[in-house]
Structure 1
Amino acid sequence: MSVFTRSRTSTVLGGIALIGASALVLAGCSGGGTGGDEPTESAGPVDELSLKVGTALPQTGNLAFLGPPEEAGVAYAMSQINEATADTGLDLDVVFGDSGDTDNKAYETEIPRLLGEDVSAIIGAASSSTSLQFIDQVTGAGVIQFSPANTSDAFTTYDDNGLYFRTAPSDVLQGEVLGNLIAEDGHQTLGMIVLNDSYGTGLAKYVTEAFEAAGGEVVAAPTYNTGDTSFDAQISEVLAADPDAIALITFEEVKTILPSLFGQYPAENLYFVDGNLANFGDQFPAGSLTGAKGTFPGLSLDTITDFTDALQTFNTDEGNEPLTEFTYAAESYDATILLALAALAAGSTDGTAMAEKLIEVSGGSGDGEKCTTYAECAEIIVGGGTADYDGISGPITFDEVGDPTEASIGIYQFGDDNTYAAYEG
């Protein structure tokens, strides 16, 4: 395990890197909300609160593989919140929707539908570029937008009326970890294939900065656009540069890119990111990805097996297909818990009132009492205290712009079965 700060180059030694992130800049001032119950005069709990939350997570599009674990995380949290209704007076209803991507534009009909349901918050999207397509529409309506997976640094300075939050850290952090990992693996030159959107180009920028600061050189970084189906030109450009390593900063398009690399480039020199790190299994011949590495924000899945096992059981008991991925499930679960706690602390389901309490219940302000479950935190709030929720995905702790101030970046490596596990290097 290695500790990272953004003020120095650090060493990656184990399957997880812990990062402390300082606030970057102040966000816009908070705005007025319209949805939900009006705030009470005091910030304490009230007798009954009916909170309604929407989701705009990827049921379709180039991040559709992330939809099932994210939606399962939300549904699991909802079940625990509603189990405690008798003790807290708060019940939660979730309206599930599809974000799609910037190619199929499912959000164009889904966001108006969700807002028409009078939701207090919308959880999503997973893709940063997709979230940027509707953030003004959501926050302009006085509704919280809360992403479990947005990592673009664009959100840190976005004028969102104080209504945007995320449980995933900025790409500044993942880029530093990945760039240093590639350098510390002994590679001196790097090629990248990059999705041309706020996520892809932003992450590529920070990987480049870290890799070059460690003495490396990026020799090729061709881009492609959402919706593209052929990547021959990008693959040819990168291979022609003969890099020591290749980083694939893509979404699900990686499934089309990889077969063209097999046999031409050693798998152990390939690097994945959160947008494409998946358990590919028999989608590719056995051993195709042996030794390849990747990163994604969040605690190593090997350290939260109690949660993932319970989530799998809950999900299948609900009649759903077994989950094959758990990426951003914990962040989605935590987002839902935090929204409920914020409503409870505000004594209101008004979006702006809840936003004012989200920083507090995450431990970003006040002198709250640590707690790790919804029931435990809710009991503190109902008793008149201040809760500081530490979640499944980590401590969270929002700063004044809704970014987590510390984060864990998991480092993983593929085995012969084309699935990944925590990197033990």
Structure 2
Amino acid sequence: MKTSIRRSAIVASAAALLLTTIGATGAVGGSGSPATVPAQVPAQAEDGVLKLGYVLPETGQLSFLGPPMIESTKFAIKTINDAGGVLGKPIPAPASGDEAGQEAVATQSADRVLAADVDAIIGAAASGMSLAFIDRVTGAGVVQCSGSNTAPTFTDYDDGGFYFRTAPSDALQGPVLAKVVAEDDNKKRVAIVARADDYGRGLLESTRKALEDRGATVAVAETYDPKATNFDQVVQKVRNANPDAAVVVAFEEGAQILQGLIEAGLGPDRIGVYGTDGLRSEELPSLVAPGDTGRLAGMKGTAPASASNAAYVKALKEFAPGLKELQFAPQTFDCVTTVALAAEKARSDDPEKFSKEMVGVTKDGEKCNSFDACKKLLAAGRDIDYDGVSGPLDFTEAGEPGQATIEVYTYDEKGDLKTVRTELSKGAAQ
């Protein structure tokens, strides 16, 4: 049985575009190595084999997120296959693509993965990179699931019912961050600077509103060009506001902003300094202050929780012993598992069919917390409620978590990343 003509035509068109691009440039992706694309892409068949691909950051600003998300994707596939696979067949090795922190590269990678005849794509990591190719994926009738997209933009995005995320919207993270700043630390005058993209603007606004609701004054709420090479003006705006707290919503470029704040006398030893998930990294202190990682001591931040499931963390590290960073690994694992369970529920690897089961397998059924356990319940004709390794998903009709466990983190005097606590947030996203 074939899927829609629309999907087959778009996938074939994507392959043709890639062949043209490769003919002109010799390469697709961030590495500069030649890309391999099939000469022909057959019409997608419902063949009983669930095929996955991913577009995740192997290079670029978010490359530190690549290993945990990629290894967790592979670990989820192994876990599923060890339990008998999907529809009685193993999931093949995933087709891979690098988002590279560049929209053009991310889009080409998505086209290449689509051309590999996949049923679902995991990724991208960055909200902006997903927005660069979401129309190509969902328009082709392929499911897309991200474990780290947090921009509120996706909640109401016209995706035809094919886009999902296991990471919570920043509408859920912002209120927790505001609580840490205004209630835990009693800061009254706050400056917020954020990337000028959907992620930065969305988290800036949700945090600003929550701070003001708690009675704090937001003296600065500014976005900046993340591609800039100099952030002196950003630092100066914060300094001119004379705040007692500064919130930086950034990716890797945030290290330069934090350096500037410290040099301007606005480090965490003088005022409250806060980050979000884009800055949560073991490497941040050494990037900000090489040789003096204690300069970030006392900085705090928030992020979707990634290390609260001890059994999962232990198993993942046994699967991938070299992993250091875990950010968004559990959410990525849950993307893969939810896709697999939806296919089991639909009894089909056709995305047009199993996409309709993605929400249902996460709520209003019998609780189960592994693919194996959930699969057995489905085989017995029961409705399931998959509680993931990242926590209960309880998808809303928009295909995203209706609640989230948010981690509050900090850096100690040695520059080590520590978890202060985790907090459940239900917010306005339900």
Give your verdict on TM over 0.5: yes
Matching residue of 1:15? none
Amino acid at match of 2:277: D
Q: 2: distance between equivalents of 1:154 and 1:86?
A: 34
Q: 1: distance between equivalents of 2:400 and 2:7?
A: 20
Amino acid at match of 2:209: E
Amino acid at match of 2:399: G
Shift of 1:37: 4.5
Contact preservation (8 Å) 2:191, 2:221 = yes
Q: 2: distance between equivalents of 1:375 and 1:243?
A: 52
Q: 1:100 to 1:388 in 2, by over 3 A?
A: same
Number of residues paired by the alignment?
376
Matching residue of 1:352? 352
Q: 1: distance between equivalents of 2:95 and 2:129?
A: 19
Shift of 1:255: 2.0
Matching residue of 1:202? 202
Shift of 1:259: 2.1
Matches within 5 A, 1:228-377: 228-263=228-263, 264-267=265-268, 269-280=272-283, 282-283=286-287, 284=289, 285-298=292-305, 301=307, 303-316=308-321, 322-363=322-363, 367-377=364-374
Shift of 1:424: 5.4
Structure 1 stretches (4+) deviating beyond 4 angstroms?
Answer: 31-37
Contact preservation (8 Å) 1:90, 1:344 = no
Q: Render the CA deviation track for 1:171-212: whole Å, top value 9, x for unaligned.
A: 111111111221111111111221000110110011110111
Amino acid at match of 2:131: L
User: Is 2:192 the counterpart of 1:189?
Assistant: no
Contact preservation (8 Å) 1:194, 1:249 = yes
Q: 1: distance between equivalents of 2:50 and 2:86?
A: 15
Name the SS for the 1:72 alignment partner: helix
Q: 1:351 to 1:56 in 2, by over 3 A?
A: same
Q: 2: distance between equivalents of 1:207 and 1:88?
A: 44
Amino acid at match of 2:200: G
Amino acid at match of 2:405: S
Q: Render the CA deviation track for 1:262-290: whole Å, top value 9, x for unaligned.
A: 25223151101011111125443131111
Q: 1: distance between equivalents of 2:166 and 2:120?
A: 14
Q: Aligned to 1:417, which of 414, 419, 422?
A: 414
Contact preservation (8 Å) 2:258, 2:267 = no
Matching residue of 2:95? 95
Matching residue of 1:45? none
Matching residue of 1:20? none
Mean Cα deviation higher: 251-260 or 403-412:
251-260
Shift of 1:376: 0.9
User: Is 2:218 the counterpart of 1:218?
Assistant: yes
The structure carrying a bigger helix percent of its residues is: 2
Shift of 1:383: 2.7
Q: Render the CA deviation track for 1:225-248: whole Å, top value 9, x for unaligned.
A: 232221111111111211100101
Contact preservation (8 Å) 1:273, 1:295 = yes
Shift of 1:142: 0.1
Normalising by the residue count of structure 2, what TM-score does the alignment of the two structures yield?
0.83
* Percent of pairs with identical residues: 38
Q: 2: distance between equivalents of 1:165 and 1:226?
A: 26
Q: Render the CA deviation track for 1:104-123: whole Å, top value 9, x for unaligned.
A: 63113111101101111111
Q: 1:32 to 1:350 in 2, by over 3 A?
A: farther
Q: 1:412 to 1:181 in 2, by over 3 A?
A: same
Matching residue of 1:132? 131
Q: Render the CA deviation track for 1:5-49: whole Å, top value 9, x for unaligned.
A: xxxxxxxxxxxxxxxxxxxxxxxxxx98658554xxxxxxxxx83
Q: Render the CA deviation track for 1:205-227: whole Å, top value 9, x for unaligned.
A: 11110111111111123322232
Matches within 5 A, 1:66-105: 66-85=65-84, 89-93=88-92, 94-101=94-101, 103=102, 105=104
Q: 1:275 to 1:64 in 2, by over 3 A?
A: same
Contact preservation (8 Å) 1:398, 1:404 = yes
Shift of 1:139: 0.4
Matching residue of 1:387? 384
Q: 2: distance between equivalents of 1:156 and 1:99?
A: 22
Q: Is there any run of 5+ residues in structure 2 with no aligned partner, and where?
A: 9-42, 423-430
Contact preservation (8 Å) 1:52, 1:119 = yes
Q: Render the CA deviation track for 1:47-87: whole Å, top value 9, x for unaligned.
A: x8311111111112222211111111111101111112279
Normalising by the residue count of structure 1, what TM-score does the alignment of the two structures yield?
0.84
Name the SS for the 2:135 alignment partner: helix
Shift of 1:337: 0.7
Matches within 5 A, 1:107-122: 107-122=106-121
Q: Is there any run of 5+ residues in structure 1 with no aligned partner, and where?
A: 1-30, 39-47, 317-321
Query: Higher relative CO (CA 8 A, sep ≥ 6), structure 1 or 2?
Result: 1
Matching residue of 1:179? 178
Matching residue of 2:428? none
Q: 1:87 to 1:70 in 2, by over 3 A?
A: closer
Contact preservation (8 Å) 2:147, 2:167 = yes
Mean Cα deviation higher: 279-288 or 268-277:
279-288
Name the SS for the 1:267 alignment partner: coil
Q: 1: distance between equivalents of 2:206 and 2:248?
A: 14
Name the SS for the 2:415 alignment partner: coil
Name the SS for the 2:51 alignment partner: strand
Q: 1: distance between equivalents of 2:86 and 2:72?
A: 22
Contact preservation (8 Å) 2:122, 2:144 = yes
Q: 1:87 to 1:173 in 2, by over 3 A?
A: closer
Matching residue of 2:150? 151
Q: 1: distance between equivalents of 2:334 and 2:393?
A: 9
